[in-house]
């Protein structure tokens, strides 16, 4: 069976990308291979992580191109690399309807909370954990979902709950959500989606 060709889109540190690359190297994503890492920032450490593993990279910097042009260039790069599945890993740009349509049912995202709580426009990165602490909830977590035109609203693929502690700061909570949930469920969910796409 042909492996599903994966592009990972990042904007920052890339710890989820690292978890995916490690899982692939350890044989935990047997039905997929990361063939391209795309960044919308030249400063993203994710690009270094990809280079260290010999994965091709492409940068379409937010600061240098308007969104329409950037998305056109990204789609061209994805087509050139014959990408089957687009994985958003800390990608901090909301994709347009046209982009989502071009890869309908083939874009997944990880969100650092239990959707549908603490999602939507403006809820990204550390802001999510700040909102969780402000609300006083005792349980948070992470969600892997398909990307649709509704921000953080697509069908859920996997979730894992994480305890919120009395003495948590947004930063300690973010670290625990990543370690206990994100880095665990994302590679497993990607393998599940690859298996499903192989059957289509
Ligand atoms: C992760 O916590 C990810 O869930 C979140 O940004 C962080 C990126 O970290 N994504 C979002 O908030 C998307 N709305 P990473 O670059 O180290 O993977």
Overall number of domains in the chain: 1
Please name the residue whose Cα sits nearest to atom 16 of ligand 1.
14
134, HSE (Cβ side, Cα atoms, 13 Å): 7
How many Cβ atoms from other residues are within 10 Å of residue 61's Cβ?
A: 13
Torsion angles phi and psi, residue 9, rounded to 5: -105, 125
Q: What is the pLDDT of residue 70?
A: 95
Calculate mean pLDDT across residues 141-157: 96
Calculate mean pLDDT across residues 170-181: 98
Residue 16 Cα to ligand 1 middle (Å): 7
Calculate mean pLDDT across residues 69-75: 96
Residue 1 Cα to ligand 1 middle (Å): 31
Closest CA to 94 of 117, 64, 57, 62: 62
H or E, element range at 129 = helix 126-135
Please name the residue whose Cα sits nearest to atom 8 of ligand 1.
90
Please name the residue whose Cα sits nearest to atom 3 of ligand 1.
90
CB 71, CB 91: distance < 8 Å = no
H or E, element range at 38 = strand 32-39
> Could you please report the per-residue DSSP string of 155-190?
PEEEEEEEEPPTT--HHHHHHHHIIIIIHHHHHHHH
pLDDT in tens, 76-134: 999 999 999 999 999 998 899 999 999 999 999 999 999 999 999 899 999 999 999 99
CATH number assigned to the domain comprising residue 49? 3.40.50.170
pLDDT in tens, 185-196: 999 999 999 999
CB 68, CB 58: distance < 8 Å = no
User: Does this model's pTM top 0.85?
Assistant: yes
Question: Can you name the residues that pair with 36 across neighbouring β-strands?
Answer: 7
pLDDT in tens, 6-36: 999 999 999 999 999 999 999 999 999 999 9
Peptide bond into 116 cis (omega under 30): yes
Sheet holding 139-146: strands in order across?
57-59, 32-39, 4-10, 85-88, 107-111, 139-146, 156-163
Domain range spanning residue 79?
4-198
Q: What is the pLDDT of residue 30?
A: 98
Rg (CA), the chain: 16
In the structure, which protein residues have their CB atom closer than 6 angstroms to any atom of ligand 1? 10, 12-16, 89-90, 110-112, 124-125, 128, 178, 182
Q: What is the pLDDT of residue 199?
A: 93
Q: What is the pLDDT of residue 115?
A: 98
Q: What is the pLDDT of residue 195?
A: 98
Q: What is the pLDDT of residue 62?
A: 92
Q: What is the pLDDT of residue 4?
A: 98
């Amino acid at each position: 069976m042909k492996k599903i060709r994966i592009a990972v889109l990042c904007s920052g540190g890339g710890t989820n990308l690292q978890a995916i690359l490690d899982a692939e190297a350890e044989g935990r994503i047997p039905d997929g291979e990361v063939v391209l890492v795309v960044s919308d920032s030249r400063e993203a450490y994710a690009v270094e992580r990809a280079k260290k593993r010999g994965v091709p990279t492409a940068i379409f910097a937010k600061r240098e191109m308007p969104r329409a042009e950037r998305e056109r260039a990204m789609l061209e790069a994805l087509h050139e690399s014959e990408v089957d599945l687009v994985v958003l890993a800390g990608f901090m740009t909301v994709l347009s309807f046209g982009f989502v349509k071009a890869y309908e049912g083939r874009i997944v995202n990880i969100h650092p909370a239990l959707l549908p709580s603490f999602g939507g426009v403006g809820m990204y990165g550390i802001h999510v954990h700040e909102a969780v602490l402000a609300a006083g909830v005792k349980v948070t977590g992470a969600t892997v979902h398909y990307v649709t035109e509704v921000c953080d609203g697509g069908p859920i693929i996997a979730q894992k709950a994480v305890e919120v502690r009395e003495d948590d700061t947004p930063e300690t909570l973010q670290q625990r959500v990543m370690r206990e949930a994100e880095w665990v469920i994302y590679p497993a969910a990607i393998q599940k989606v690859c298996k499903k796409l192989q059957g289509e």
